[in-house]
Amino acid sequence: MFKIADHAITVANADAELKRYASLVIGLKNTEDSVVKYIQHLWSNRYGFKSDSDTKNILNLRLM
């Protein structure tokens, strides 16, 4: 699925093989609500929704 997706996103502690196909690696690990925080960040930027004040500090995005 990652090979054909327009946006392949995974968390930093995902399997190395999965991260190889990711276009974006988010957060530090899956137990930090990185996916939820990333969605909040996207919606905040795209639609003006408000997210937690800490979201942008914790998000820790890294483009691959």
CA dist., res. 58 & res. 27, Å (int): 7
Decide if 17 is inside a domain.
Answer: yes
Token output for 10 = 């995974």
E strand residue ranges, 1-64: 9-11, 24-26, 62-63
Domain that holds residue 34: 9-63
Token output for 9 = 């996103």
Decide if 3 is inside a domain.
Answer: no
Among the residue ranges 2-6, 11-15, 47-51, the one predicted with the least confidence is 47-51
Mean of the per-residue pLDDT values of the chain? 76
pTM strictly above 0.95: no
Decide if 2 is inside a domain.
Answer: no
CA dist., res. 52 & res. 61, Å (int): 16
Residues 6+ apart with CB under 8 A from 18: 2, 10
Query: How many structural domains does the chain have?
Result: 1
Give pLDDT tens digits for 29-56: 767 888 888 888 888 878 776 655 544 5
